[in-house]
Every structure is written in C-alpha cells, then in structure tokens.
Chains A and B, each alone.
Chain A
Amino acid sequence: MGKTNTEDYLRMYRQMVRIRTFEDNANQLYLSAKMPGLTHMYSGEEAVAVGLCEALTDTDRITSTHRGHGHCVAKGAAFREMFCELLGKAEGYCRGKGGSMHIADQSHGNLGANAIVGGSMGIATGSALRAKLLGQDDVTVCFFGDGATAQGLLYEVMNMAALWKLPVIYACENNGYSEYTRTDEIAAGSITARAEAFGIEAHQVDGQDVLAVNALARDLVARARKGEGPFFVELMTYRYHGHHVGDINREYYRSKDEEKDWKENRDPIIRFRAHLVSEGIATEEEIEAMNAEIEADAAEAVAYAEKAPYPPADEVDMHVYAD
C-alpha cells in the first residue's frame, strides 16, 4: 500500500472520528441544557459525508441538510467555529445567526445546511450551472435524506441537470427513516430508478463502508469534472440517535434490536478501524492516540465556545442586506 493511500485512509478515519466526537459533545450540550434549540445528530452516517467529501477539493461545493454537522466537518470546518455557532456565539461560522440547522462554511465550499427538507436541491444544481456557465471545473455534491426524495423540487432540478449535463452529484442518505416514519412507507418503487428515468447514472452503495463510498465518489467526481455528470448515489446508512436530540423514546417506530444491530455489526468507524489495523496502516495504540487527541480538541473547543461572547445587540439587524 502506497504512502498516499495510507495518508488518505488515516485522514478518513480521523474525519469520521471527528464527526462522532463532535456529535457526542453536541448531544451532551443539549442534554445539559447549554445549547439553545435542538439539533439532529449525524452519528452512524460518518462514512457517507467523509467518503464523499474526501473526494472533493475546497473549491468543490456541497449543500447540506438539517442533519448537517457531519457534512460541515467532512468539508473541512473547525470545531471552535462550529461549537460557537451551535451555541449562538459571535465567533460561530455564521456569527450565531444560523445555528445548527443553517451552519455554512463558505471558506471550504459548504453552502450551508438547510432546514427546509429538500430546500437546497435547487441551490446545488444552480451552483453546478454556474460552474458550467463560467467555465469553472468544480463539482457540487447535494446531500439530502431519503425523506427529501418526496419533494417535487428534486425531479425538477434533476431534469434540468440531466438536460444540461451539469457537474452535480445527488447524494441521497438513506437512513431508513424520515422523522418517525419508515422509508418504505413514504417512497414508492426504487429511489435510484427515479434518477435513471432522467437518464442519470445512479448507484447504490453501502454507506457504512467509507472505502466503498470514497472509491465511487472519486470516480464520479472525476467524471463530473470532465462534463459527464450529473450522477445520483443512494447511500444506505443509519442514524444512531433519534430524529433529533429530543427523540428519546422511539421504540414505537424502530426497535432497540435494530439499532443494536447497526451499531454493533455495521458501525463505519469500528469497521474501518479494524481494516486499518489488519492492513498494518495503524496500530491500536496509534488509533487510540488519535481518538484521544480528537477528544481533547473537541473538549477544548466546547470550553472555548461556552466562554465565547454572544453577538452584540447591534448585530441583530446587520446582514439583512449585502452592500
């Protein structure tokens, strides 16, 4: 195994652990009533965001969802600015005006989470249209959930993306549920077939296998860059927490056994860690050290964010209009 691969693999592992660690801390902040509002945890779905975003550069764009912390971290965001944003502090990515559901990180090409289910499909496709129009070679990845496939907007923009061969990749994170409803109750037929109906090449991939996701993503991103897009990917995954942090008692819609099975047998981090060790890419000690370092980073960022100041009152009507 070449050195580049080793570095790529370790970075992917690191990014997945960073997401999980970020979410554990965010959940704790919510449970201890330190975080205003509520939030949707990405834990369990790390391989999706990391596998895809590791195939992108900073000039490539993504659009994200209400369950967006994972995308944000995977696209290169820093813990401090993220926790500050979650706590509504002035040093947050959006100066505390967006919060968990609107976190955006322009500097790394993250056009933002979106609290309207499916709301960013037009934005992602428009970003791709701009790339084509202005002769730029970046690719846009549009993240959305299985539930969002019920929005008509998706079919409008996929039609246009296919007609105009836009460099956009539609990434459907199928975690089996939209809120408290099973996907098979809200989605008729096959999700990938819907994209195929527009002549869009569609793939289904194990969203718990970061290498599988990344291999597919690298191929599709390279081809989209050459003008062979758009593409559609359905990533089979699972969210470990409730729909949002307050969704604690959920046996009425999914069983504890089901959750246990995904966590114990298909966890993307545990699986990839075993792979790294068995392939001799990292030792258990090295991995433990990396985990500890990430935990320390997160703890430092949380402590920083807790102490950070809120935005001053005169910012309330700032940023309504751009100059």
Chain B
Amino acid sequence: MRQITLSQAVNEAIAEEMRRDPAVFLMGEDVAEAGTPFKVLSGLVEEFGTARVIDTPISEPGFVGMAVGAAMTGARPIVDLMFGDFIYLVMDQLCNQAAKQHYMSGGKLTVPMVLRTNMGATRRSAAQHSQSLQALVAHIPGLKVAMPSSAYEAKGLMKTAIRDNNPVVIFEDKLMYQDKAEVPEEEYLIPFGEAHVKRAGRDITLIGTSSMVQVAEKAAALLAADGIEAEVIDPRTLVPLDEATLLESVRRTSRAIVIDEGHQSYGVTAEIASRLNEKAFYHLDAPVLRMGAMDVPVPFSPALEDLTVPTPEGVAEAARRLCGGEMIHAA
C-alpha cells in the first residue's frame, strides 16, 4: 500500500470533505497561500479558493467564535488553531459557547465544527509552543476530542470529525507531520470511540495517545526482548472513550500503564487509570500507573526538555517493575 505523511493525510481528508460538501470551509491564520507554518494545508486554496480557505487576522477568539456561529447556522467550519497552546485564548468560545449550545437549547441548536490544532514537546519551542492540552477540553461535556497516532488515523478521524454534528477538537502531534504510514487510496472513515489494538500481548496493557502510541510500541519491543508481552492500545478518541476495549484488555493482562503527553496531574492518564481501577479492580495485580508529562512548564534547553516527557525506556522500565510484582506508583 502507498505511504503518505500525516500532513498529507490531513490535507487529503480535508480536501475530500470539501469536495463532498460545499458547506465545509477552512479558516485560520495563514491557512491559504501559506498553507499554515507546517504546510499541512498547502494546495487547498488553489483548489477551493479564498472564499472557502480563509486567512484570518490574528484573532483567535474572534475566528473561533465566528466558526461557532457559522456552524450553528448551517456551515461546517474547520478552524486551524496554529498552536495548541493558543487554546487558552479561545476557551470561552470553545467551552462556554460551542460546547454548550446543543444542551442549553434543549437539542435545537447544533455546532458541527472542527478545531484542528496540535500538541507535543521536544521541538525546542519552550513553554508556550509545546503544550499538550487535550485534558483541558476533554474535561468539558459537549466537546469531542480526537488524538490521531499516525497518518492513517489522522485521515480517518479528520473525515469523521468533519461529518460529526458536534464540536470536535483534533490534536495532531506537530513532531509527527512528516511521519509516514500506510494510507489506502480508497475512502475510509474511523468511527469515534473505537480503540485500536496496535499490538497484542498478555502480560501488561500499555495505553498510549497520539505520539505516545509510538513510545508504547517501542517500549513493547524492548519488553519483548525480556520476554514480557505487552499489549498496546490506542484509544484514538478521548471523548468518546472506548472503555470496553481498554477494560477487556486490562482484565486479561492484570496490569496497565497509561501514557499521554499532557501534564500528569489531573490529566488524561489520571482519568483513564481511574476508570480502569474502578472497573477492573478485582482483575488487577497492581494499581494502574499514570505516565504523563512532568508537571513543569516545558523548558527550552534540550537537556531539560527531554526529561519532561515519557520515553520508551522509561515506560519499559516501569512495565518491568510492575510485571516483577513491585508496587510502584507514578512519579
């Protein structure tokens, strides 16, 4: 099968949906001729024109708010938020407006919009361009959250997001834009709330999101050398979360580590670990372990930054100790 980059996959998904549905349009900073700083959207303005690929001023609350209004009245906007760190600027529009319209109106108003943004540290971009803020939005009822872990997921989840009748936030890992994966030429969608078992194993379950799926897979390879068979699962969407697949795995393996690049405290790892502890308690041989990013602002110096995110070696080490019967807990 052909291989394309995650960036191309996102681009293809958006182009296909824009061809299919004239109500779909794109807006954000430098999305048109520039195709975003990451060049993910290059070529779209040439095909769809500036009426549907709209360069905005640097007004994040303004254009996210406009996307909400456009979505409420019949369009299907895709908003490009250049960095995930800028989510703080649009919290009111996203969490007070977009997330609540359907509920507050008793089901009469809908907000079919996609906010695509990014996450991920180790790009030497320091504290305000490196955060992974998925937990902030996953906390808000009314929003859906997708975390593609490869080009294949990026395309299938994006197409589903665009067709969803709710506000969806997609976090792409900005370090993965050039990573290639097999992506079919034929159209496909990936339904929300369906986890993907990336690797089967019977000794421990490693649940990773986005870039942390790769970390978990590398850790599983290291563990295999020690004779430990790790199962690797990618939930693919945080909201909705495919609890059933996670629980089924953990009930079998009796041990689990949850890995996500957001800060560990009050984070995605905490939520998933807590659900597994509550619902699979009698099947567990050890408490489910959280491995998130260190609770510090992301430092600039490479020597420090690399210490803040989970690594394959760190995950493998924790897994070995858990499987060895040690009662360890999160850092």
A residues whose Cβ falls under 8 Å from a Cβ of B: 61, 63, 92-98, 102, 104, 106, 111-112, 114, 116, 119-131, 133-134, 136, 140, 152-153, 156-157, 159-160, 163-164, 318-323
Known: A152-B61, A156-B59, A160-B57. A321 touches B102 (CB 8 A): yes
Q: List 14 A-B contacts (CB under 8 A).
A: A98-B106, A104-B108, A106-B109, A111-B73, A112-B109, A125-B69, A128-B69, A129-B70, A157-B59, A157-B65, A319-B103, A321-B142, A322-B112, A322-B165
B128 within 8 A of A: no
CA A194 to CA B56, docked complex, whole Å: 20
Given contacts A104-B105, A156-B61, A322-B112, 19 further A-B contacts (CB under 8 A): A92-B106, A93-B108, A98-B104, A106-B109, A111-B109, A112-B105, A122-B62, A123-B72, A124-B69, A126-B67, A134-B74, A153-B62, A156-B62, A159-B62, A160-B59, A319-B103, A319-B107, A320-B102, A321-B166
B304 within 8 A of A: no
Q: How far is the CB of A148 from chain B (nearest CB, A)?
A: 13
CA A116 to CA B94, docked complex, whole Å: 13
For residue B301, which residues in chain A have a CB less than 8 angstroms away from its CB? none
B96 — nearest CB in chain A belongs to which residue?
A116
Known: A94-B108, A104-B104. A125 touches B65 (CB 8 A): yes
B291 within 8 A of A: no
B66 within 8 A of A: yes
Q: How far is the CB of B114 from chain A (nearest CB, A)?
A: 14
Known: A122-B97, A134-B22, A160-B62. A111 touches B69 (CB 8 A): yes
B144 within 8 A of A: yes
Chain B contact patch, size range: 35 or more
- Find out whether the CB atom of A122 lies under 8 angstroms from the CB atom of B66: yes
- Find out whether the CB atom of A121 lies under 8 angstroms from the CB atom of B110: no
Q: How far is the CB of A234 from chain B (nearest CB, A)?
A: 21
CA A106 to CA B109, docked complex, whole Å: 7
Q: How far is the CB of A109 from chain B (nearest CB, A)?
A: 9
CA A310 to CA B64, docked complex, whole Å: 35
- Find out whether the CB atom of A126 lies under 8 angstroms from the CB atom of B69: yes
A321 — nearest CB in chain B belongs to which residue?
B166
For residue B67, which residues in chain A have a CB less than 8 angstroms away from its CB? 126
- Find out whether the CB atom of A160 lies under 8 angstroms from the CB atom of B66: yes
CA A111 to CA B102, docked complex, whole Å: 11
CA A266 to CA B107, docked complex, whole Å: 41
For residue A164, which residues in chain B have a CB less than 8 angstroms away from its CB? 54
Q: How far is the CB of A139 from chain B (nearest CB, A)?
A: 12
A125 — nearest CB in chain B belongs to which residue?
B66
For residue A125, which residues in chain B have a CB less than 8 angstroms away from its CB? 62, 65-66, 69
CA A160 to CA B23, docked complex, whole Å: 20
- Find out whether the CB atom of B105 lies under 8 angstroms from the CB atom of A98: yes
Cβ contacts B248-259/A at 8 Å (1 or 0 each): 000000000000
- Find out whether the CB atom of A130 lies under 8 angstroms from the CB atom of B73: yes
- Find out whether the CB atom of A322 lies under 8 angstroms from the CB atom of B110: yes
For residue B315, which residues in chain A have a CB less than 8 angstroms away from its CB? none
Q: How far is the CB of A107 from chain B (nearest CB, A)?
A: 8
Known: A93-B106, A119-B92, A127-B70. A322 touches B97 (CB 8 A): no
CA A163 to CA B144, docked complex, whole Å: 32
Selected contact of B70 from candidates A95, A102, A121, A130, CB within 8 Å: A130
Q: How far is the CB of B234 from chain A (nearest CB, A)?
A: 22
Among all A-B residue pairs, the 4 with the closest Cβ atoms: A122-B65, A126-B69, A156-B62, A95-B106
For residue B102, which residues in chain A have a CB less than 8 angstroms away from its CB? 319-322
- Find out whether the CB atom of A122 lies under 8 angstroms from the CB atom of B104: no
CA A120 to CA B67, docked complex, whole Å: 12
- Find out whether the CB atom of B105 lies under 8 angstroms from the CB atom of A106: yes
Q: How far is the CB of A260 from chain B (nearest CB, A)?
A: 38
CA A163 to CA B109, docked complex, whole Å: 28
CA A128 to CA B103, docked complex, whole Å: 23
- Find out whether the CB atom of B75 lies under 8 angstroms from the CB atom of A133: yes
B144 — nearest CB in chain A belongs to which residue?
A321
B108 — nearest CB in chain A belongs to which residue?
A106
B56 — nearest CB in chain A belongs to which residue?
A160
Q: How far is the CB of A232 from chain B (nearest CB, A)?
A: 16
- Find out whether the CB atom of B73 lies under 8 angstroms from the CB atom of A319: no
Q: How far is the CB of B295 from chain A (nearest CB, A)?
A: 30
B5 within 8 A of A: no
CA A319 to CA B141, docked complex, whole Å: 10
- Find out whether the CB atom of A104 lies under 8 angstroms from the CB atom of B109: yes
Q: How far is the CB of B93 from chain A (nearest CB, A)?
A: 6
- Find out whether the CB atom of B141 lies under 8 angstroms from the CB atom of A320: yes
CA A321 to CA B101, docked complex, whole Å: 10
Known: A127-B70, A320-B142. A160 touches B63 (CB 8 A): yes
Cβ contacts B176-203/A at 8 Å (1 or 0 each): 0000000000000000000000000000
B25 within 8 A of A: yes
B101 — nearest CB in chain A belongs to which residue?
A112
For residue A95, which residues in chain B have a CB less than 8 angstroms away from its CB? 106-107
Selected contact of A127 from candidates B69, B97, B141, B165, CB within 8 Å: B69
